[in-house]
Structure 1
Amino acid sequence: MKRTLVFGDIHGGLKALIQLLERINYSENDQFVFLGDYVDGWSESKQLIDFLIELSQKQECIFIKGNHDVWCQEWLENDVINDIWFLHGGKSTIESYDAIELSEKQKHRDFFNSMKDYFVDENNNLFIHAGFSSMHGPEKEHYKTNYSWDRTLWEMALTMDKRIQKNSILYPKRLLLFNEIYIGHTPTLNYDVEIPMQGCNVWNIDTGAGFYGKLSCIDVETKQFWQSDAVQTFYPNEKGRNK
């Protein structure tokens, strides 16, 4: 039976992803959806991209682009270091790419270019890194940066009055467009929660793997989820994205 398994932000934590995949006990029939932010944080960003490229050759994978991936892609293509990126995990990513061969660098550029801004499956579930603001859906989004940066969708879903029914004129139009919405970008640790969170029909799978949290994966159908150990335990001499 085919499962759709959704992965939260990884931030260079390759060892945590390998452990998580072992715990899932997946089959070749399963579809993997990665919600972005593959780089910036722990020391294995380049190695993680290598792993994902190889994984995609034997597993059905969909890769959503996160804001950190946008920064990294710009650097790979133009050799321009964004100052904000450098301070928010870019330094560790640049170091992981030390002495990369030109042909391998091009393969990574191609991988970043192939990432999707968002994905809608056959059951009308949306998978996007951060969110969107248009009441007509992400395809009508005026500011494309919202795909990887917007937090208003999650904040709205999280604070919705539970008494407002879907047939009410007060119910947000954005939430009615899709069966379910799966996002990353905003660590659940911000709310003192260590597992995937739900607000209305929005599921947040970023459980803080780039900081002191765990890497998470959820089954779209059953809502069973799996987690790695705290990612920091794999990199005891590093700080991840902590300041």
Structure 2
Amino acid sequence: MKPRTLVIGDIHGGLKALKQVLARAEVTAQDTLIFLGDYVDGWGESAQVIQFLIELEQKQTCIFIKGNHDLWCEDWLKEHILDKTWLFHGGQSTLKSYESLNDAEHALHLNFFERMRLYYVDEQNRLFVHAGFTSMHGPAQEFHQSNFKWDRTLWEMALTMHKHITKDSKLYPKRLLLFKEIFIGHTPTLNYDVTIPMNGCNVWNVDTGAAFTGSLTIMDIDTKEFWQSDTLVSLYPNEKGRNR
């Protein structure tokens, strides 16, 4: 099989789903994996997801983007900051998952979070970012780096302009012209009653709601073929995930 580049949506502590999509996509060591962030918070295996990813990157090329939930967890591992918003949005399950890990494992995981990228641009000028960016000059000129982990305006703009305007129009959003394609997570497609990846202009949203009642998705960025796990509620029937 020809080596592929595969992008993976928000995992949110769903290790069972992660293993399932990697198997269903028949991922090999020759494939490059790009993860869009939010590895933790939600289902009960957040620490186990991080450990699995640390071991996975020893076997093949992996690129890890940092999400807003990952930053919360990083702050806790580094300075024991218990953000109340974090605890409300899945942090409690993450804390519980770390109870069985020792100090050395905590340090290893902290190093992993600190090594995550804010965004990544490949050789074909395709951008991978957790949420979005606002600068008209691209993410390298972004004034507020928190936008990489929180911004939804890029996605909302892409949805609004989709099929209503062409790239040769002077009205086409300049942010979207900066890249061949943009791949994001952060905003669950379930918000639009959609359970599969969504496309708006040249933006692809791969967060199919694994934190809630949806599935985890992995997509071939060249062919747009994708594979999904079972719903997380079926994989973790005794858990609630993140409350919407």
Give the TM-score normalised by structure 2: 0.98
Task: Give deviations 1:10-55, integer Å, cap 9, x for gaps.
Answer: 0000001111111011221110000000000000000010000000
* Structure 1 gap segments, 5+ residues each: none
1:153-164 mapped onto 2 (5 Å cutoff): 153-160=154-161, 162-164=163-165
Two-structure CA RMSD over aligned residues (Å): 0.8
1:161–1:201 distance in 2 versus 1, CA, 3 Å: closer
Aligned partner of 1:147 in structure 2 is 148
Tell me by how many angstroms 1:217 deviates.
0.7
- Mapped to 1, the partners of 2:138 and 2:64 lie a distance apart of 20
Q: In the alignment, what sits opposite 1:231?
A: 232
Inter-CA distance 99–163: structure 2 relative to 1 (3 Å threshold): closer
Cα distance in 1 for partners of 2:24, 2:110 equals 30
Q: Any idea what SS the aligned residue of 1:214 has?
A: coil
Q: Give the fraction of aligned pairs with identical amino acids, expressed as a percent.
A: 63
Segments of 5+ residues of structure 2 without an aligned counterpart are: none
Distance 2:170 2:22 in 1: 43
- Number of aligned residue pairs: 243
Deviations 1:148-203 (A, max 9, x none): 00000000000105242212110100000000000000000000000000000000
Matched, 1:43 2:47: no
2:120 maps to 119
Which residue is equivalent to 2:139?
138
CA–CA distance in structure 1, aligned partners of residues 113 and 186 of structure 2? 17
2:106 aligns with 105
Alpha-carbon distance in structure 1 between the residues aligned to 2:40 and 2:29: 25
2:58 alignment partner in structure 1: 57
Whether 1:183 aligns to 2:174 is no
CA contact (8 A) 2:162 2:201 kept: no
Give the corresponding residue for 1:129: 130
> Match of 1:138, as an amino acid?
P
Moved beyond 2 Å, runs of 4+:
none
TM-score by length of 1: 0.98
Are 1:170 and 2:171 an aligned pair? yes
SS of residue matched to 1:217? strand
The secondary structure found in structure 1 opposite 2:229 is: strand
Q: 1:76-121: per-residue Cα shift (whole Å, max 9, x none)?
A: 0001100000000000000000042111111001000000000000
Secondary structure in 1 aligned to 2:208? coil
Distance 2:140 2:71 in 1: 19
